[in-house]
Chains A and B, each alone.
Chain A
């Protein structure tokens, strides 16, 4: 059978099954199967000894820019970048043009995704046109494939609308992903408010702009009993609220992005617009607290907030530059740095990047059990590489991690049994 793939001698890491052993992983007809005694041809084998074989990584926060801004990224290029970064699935935020606030855009994304290099789970808008006024049609969007709702990029400033969104989404079994930011507090701000913003004379965004909204939304999740997921947590104050909420049993989950546990506001240096995103890079104390929260379970997910922009949006005055950086192709390396730094172990990293996002979104994945769809990532934790404008698969290159040595990379990505990225050779050429 030609569709058979045998990953030989890898370190199979399947946190959902409590499995961590050197073994072969068999894939056939797009599914993981129990190895059997049949003779296997060499061309069906891939030697992955020395590498980790893990459930396909899932990035629950990306911006694919299609429809509307295809010059930055498309579903095809964005999922190819995902595959190159080791991801087998992505959830794409609704701030496209037009906004994904109804079945028309959801359907378009799903259709374009049939030929993509990763599973695509659209996130629908919380409000029509993400205007923060009227609820979007969650039932309709869910029927066409949205996995969650969010007005990401824009905070829902009306607490009443947020309450209704949580209630209504709960009825449809969808989590609400909040972009927690008080727009009045962050107004005009373009970086973290602190010593660096003062030194650079740039208007700041205080950490409290995030924390007050995290607080509000936790209160609303407690009120409604609905599943709240907090996107891109960047501050220690938010972590404190989150920790307390989890202790009290509020149905809340949360993610952070690799840049928040890797960089601080110092990365803005001399007005580097590739260090500009929203929420902004925070202080060293915030960064350390994010790392702690990844290890103690307060944070559930590492998601990249992959936000492609062209030079048109980035080569300009810092205050005028667009927010956001690409993240799909550097995430594994930055996540592995946490393991190397002994902040978390390998199992926890896979929970954060695969098991938990699958559970939160209610989508397949996060498991290597026999019978499951074969979404598998092979990671070489020692692979050294440098990302450049030319080697990136993404259409955009707005990253603060270019031109510097990175360690650890996905060397093979298999999505539903299909190889979507490979830096290895099969055993017979």
Chain B
């Protein structure tokens, strides 16, 4: 690395704590790692001898897989510990789990948890680095970093871009992290969705709330749709998926309002025909699969950087 900036974060708990320089530094590092995934032997010895624990206390396949591949491509030893944070297994608390993991002396814990702030709690009981892989409705920093990286693959800079985020902002850690990241990088973030999906005082985070999807998408450089969480429908936030699709789904007609070179993004997995029409998700604007590829590179970069990669390299 030749960047003058030095990465000083021990943990990656959220985008909130990162500076624009940090974000650029992570993305630059990720880019240098990206080509490793295209080699015939997709492995470098950089993190040999390091122990990475995947502590996933909420169901996740994609993010866990992405982190696991990232760690393995860097030659780290990975261990998976999964469970459910909703059902406290025989009274074992998160702190018990943390103490047990600490006793095994890992270098990094990658944590997914259903409750906001769980990685902050974990951090009070372990000595190693923690990477937040999603906590409640709080943050999902690696997702936001791979999203910014994907946009920067296509645009010079985020400064001045109009980025529309459509969907359930209130319950989306992806939306929260992206709002922090995009606004830090100078983009204008326009949110759309029914008011039942908008968190209190969301404009205080620097985002603009639009009255319609059309308003958000008009002139947009990037349109991101969020996954509707079907399991949340016991809480009456929307009357039906059908009605949501009609009023808030991203379709081709709507996309005509955006800039011609608009990028369409989705954190996945997509409910096709609900928040996004299939022809949009699979159309030429879509960078959804690039997001997945960049996900591995960003997670390699995060592991490298929290383990002090800059200093040893």
- List A residues at the B interface (Cβ < 8 Å): 193-195, 197-204, 206, 270-271, 315-320
Contact = CB atoms under 8 A, between A and B. Distances in A.
A200 B117 contact: yes
Contacts of A202: 116-117, 136-138
Contacts of A199: 16, 204-205
Given A317-B94, A318-B115, A319-B115, A201 B204 contact: no
A316 B93 contact: yes
B173 interface: yes
A203 B137 contact: yes
B72 interface: no
Contacts of B121: 271, 316-318
Interface stretch (B145-153, B157-165, B194-202, B299-307): B194-202
Given A271-B117, A271-B121, A316-B93, A201 B201 contact: no
17 contacts: A194-B200, A194-B201, A195-B201, A195-B204, A198-B176, A198-B199, A198-B205, A200-B116, A200-B138, A201-B173, A202-B138, A203-B137, A271-B121, A316-B121, A318-B117, A318-B121, A319-B115
B200 A198 contact: yes
Contact of A195 (B113, B117, B135, B200): B200
A201 B205 contact: no
Contact of A193 (B16, B95, B200): B200
B120 interface: yes
A197 B135 CA distance: 14
Contacts of A319: 115-117, 136
Interface in B200-238: 200-202, 204-205
A316 B85 CA distance: 12
Interface residues of B, number: 25
B139 interface: yes
Contacts of B16: 199
A264 B1 CA distance: 44
Nearest to A273: B121
Contact of B137 (A193, A201, A270, A318): A201
A198 B201 contact: yes
Contact of B95 (A194, A203, A315): A315
Interface class of chain A by DSSP: loop
B263 interface: no
A202 B171 CA distance: 9
Interface of B: 16, 85, 93-95, 113, 115-118, 120-121, 135-139, 173, 176, 199-202, 204-205
The 9 closest A-B pairs by CB, nearest first: A201-B138, A271-B117, A201-B137, A201-B116, A317-B115, A195-B201, A198-B199, A195-B204, A193-B200
Nearest to A193: B200
Nearest to A197: B200
Contacts of A193: 200
Contacts of B200: 193-195, 197-198, 204, 206
Nearest to A196: B201
Given A315-B95, A317-B115, A319-B115, A198 B120 contact: no
A53 B301 CA distance: 66
B135 A201 contact: yes
A259 B230 CA distance: 39
B242 to A, nearest CB: 26
B79 to A, nearest CB: 22
A320 B137 CA distance: 15
Contacts of A316: 93-95, 121
A270 B117 contact: yes
Residue from B117, B139, B176 with most neighbouring chain A CB atoms (10 Å): B117
Contacts of A201: 116-117, 135-139, 173, 176
Contact of A198 (B93, B95, B115, B202): B202
A271 B115 CA distance: 11
Residue from A194, A195, A201 with most neighbouring chain B CB atoms (10 Å): A201
Nearest to A271: B117
Given A197-B200, A201-B138, A202-B136, A318 B93 contact: no
A320 B114 CA distance: 11
A363 B136 CA distance: 48
A363 to B, nearest CB: 41
Contacts of B136: 201-202, 319
A167 B137 CA distance: 44
Nearest to B85: A317
Contacts of A320: 115
Given A199-B16, A317-B94, A319-B115, A270 B199 contact: no
